[in-house]
Amino acid sequence: MKQRILIVDDDPGIVAAITPALRAQGYEVSAAHDGETALAAFRQVGPHLVLLDLVMPKLGGIGVCQQIRQQSATPIIVVSVKGAEADIVTALDNGADDYLVKPFRLSELLARIRAVLRRSRAPQPLIQCADLVIDTTRRIVLRQGQPVSLTPIEYAVLAELVAHRNGVVTARQIVQRVWGPQYADATDYVKGVIRRLRVKLEPDPAHPRYIITEPHVGYRFNDASGTVSSPSSP
Amino acid sequence: MKQRILIVDDDPGIVAAITPALRAQGYEVSAAHDGETALAAFRQVGPHLVLLDLVMPKLGGIGVCQQIRQQSATPIIVVSVKGAEADIVTALDNGADDYLVKPFRLSELLARIRAVLRRSRAPQPLIQCADLVIDTTRRIVLRQGQPVSLTPIEYAVLAELVAHRNGVVTARQIVQRVWGPQYADATDYVKGVIRRLRVKLEPDPAHPRYIITEPHVGYRFNDASGTVSSPSSP
DNA sequence: CGGTTTTTTCACTGCTTTTTCACCGCGCCC
DNA sequence: GGGCGCGGTGAAAAAGCAGTGAAAAAACCG
């Protein structure tokens, strides 16, 4: 699935300059030109990353930052002409992940996007959980050492759950990430896939241990045991 | 728990300049002066973050970066005099999380450290109050460590109360925020939800400690203890 | 092209939540 | 003391949601 980037900038020139470069890298790009439409677009598109200008009509970049952070951990890179120490510190302390001063070098922006996305999607190569092993690099799932055959959609949904393991993911989020933003309310799809996943992965599909339903909120991948591979910060 | 930072730089001046500032922020600081000792120190200290210079004897910064990445996901901020596009892109693509060109502003470095640590350590703004813990990002409420299941409306009302904790919120305000402006005088809804919240959250629902009624005004969420959240502002 | 797997659609069921409504108790002011 | 506003209580009706099964449609593969 293509990664989606939302550009928020009131200067159409900037948007026009960046967009094709991002598309060339294989990202899907959408844009908003003021703070309020940015938040609406954010909810609708469910992007994997936000490129955010600071100076904007309606609602400033800092405000957008805070609003997004209240509802999501989606990475944000602020791109602004304001290069003062105070601006940078304020943005970073209000939830931005990186800060780039205009004018910037395109390849640097791309590299910073890669770095931020790499960390946020943190595909820990191996996730082990009782009798399940999920190898995200090979797209393989083992259950009690036996490989489980998953269809592409099943795997994509599982990956989405595992990416936020121990956290709740709404059906809406899953549909947006796996099928695309335009399917946002086709949450029926998820029901079916979740069921098939449970049949294939759960010891007792009727009483799930891994794929837990958080009533009226969404689903949660329950990883009781700590992840064993690739030790992160000790 | 104090967070540990490993500084890797062959210039003792830099180390001497940064170290006290980091200590003042409450970090534990250790240092290494070349690539090889850096890796040894990394394994020994197990830092939460690495500040890495590029030009060094024995093993360059890029090499250190790769080696660290092979064994850990510990965040790395590269700090270097080299400001060329190619250097930045190379560092970021080899596992660095951020890149700061010397000379840098100290407060910017500190802000970038906070930003990177925040993301790597899932910072959850928690509201703690006696035996209640409210995790606003994950939509989870714990009572004496046990998760409490709240319905969407219950959670929304609680969030509204908590947002103005220790201040009074009128029933009218709650209805407007949770149900929408057109429901402004359906204050009956609130009664029911408040009751259910008390049953679920209060030790003695008949004599509320948290969700207090302010007669003829509204409700107030009583947060005796201070809020505990992640260290974001210095 | 035919057969198989996968995805989509839909109707149904049991359960939880939300809404609605009637009533109770308390304090207050006239 | 009786009416009145306000907040708490309880229960039943209505609505919404998740799980299930099964069949149609689409994609895949030889």
- Angstrom CA distances, A80 to A84, A88, B167, stand at 10, 9, 37
How far apart (Å, rounded) are the C-alpha atoms in residues A134 and A136? Answer: 6
How far apart (Å, rounded) are the C-alpha atoms in residues B55 and B80? Answer: 8
Out of A85, A108, A231, name the one closest to residue B72 (CB): A231
More confident residue, A201 or B120: A201
Q: How many C-beta atoms lie closer than 10 Å to residue A210's C-beta?
A: 23
pLDDT at B197 over 60: yes
User: What is the mean predicted confidence (pLDDT) over A136-155?
Assistant: 87
Token duo for residue A156: 């994509």
CA-nearest residue to B95 within chain A is: A115
Token duo for residue A77: 């890179």
pLDDT at A232 over 50: no
Q: What band does A229 get if pLDDT is binned at 50, 70 and 90?
A: very low
For residue range B54-111, list pLDDT tens digits in order: 988 888 889 999 999 988 889 999 999 999 999 999 999 999 999 999 899 999 999 9
B94 inside 8 A of chain A by CB: no
Spans of all domains in chain A: 4-121, 126-221
pLDDT at B121 over 70: no
Out of B71, B93, B233, name the one closest to residue A111 (CB): B93
Residue the block writes with tokens 């209805």: B175
Task: Report the nearest residue to nucleotide D16, CA vs C1'.
Answer: A216
For residue range B177-191, list pLDDT tens digits in order: 899 888 877 888 999
Q: Does domain A4-121 have CATH number 2.60.40.10?
A: no
Domain B126-221 maps to which CATH number in 3.40.47.10, 1.10.10.10, 3.10.450.100, 3.40.710.10? 1.10.10.10
* Confidence at residue B223, expressed as pLDDT on a 0 to 100 scale: 79
Q: In Å, how far from its chain's centre is CA B223?
A: 21
CATH superfamily of B4-120: Response regulator (3.40.50.2300)
For residue range A157-172, list pLDDT tens digits in order: 999 998 888 888 999 9
* Confidence at residue A9, expressed as pLDDT on a 0 to 100 scale: 94
B101 inside 8 A of chain A by CB: no
User: What is the mean predicted confidence (pLDDT) over B214-228?
Assistant: 78
User: What is the mean predicted confidence (pLDDT) over A107-132?
Assistant: 84
For residue range A2-41, list pLDDT tens digits in order: 789 999 999 999 999 999 999 999 999 999 999 989 988 8
Q: Which nucleotides of D are covered by protein (CB under 7 A)?
A: 6-11, 17-22
CA atoms within 13 A on the CB side of A96: 29
* Confidence at residue A227, expressed as pLDDT on a 0 to 100 scale: 45
Q: How many C-beta atoms lie closer than 10 Å to residue B11's C-beta?
A: 14
Task: Look up the pTM and report it.
Answer: 0.75
* Confidence at residue B137, expressed as pLDDT on a 0 to 100 scale: 67
Which of B123-127, B152-156, B221-225 has maximum average pLDDT?
B152-156
B4-120 and B126-221 have identical folds: no
A231 inside 8 A of chain B by CB: yes
Containing A31, the helix (H) or strand (E) segment is strand A28-32
* Confidence at residue B139, expressed as pLDDT on a 0 to 100 scale: 80
- What three-state secondary structure class fits B229? coil
CA-nearest residue to B230 within chain A is: A93
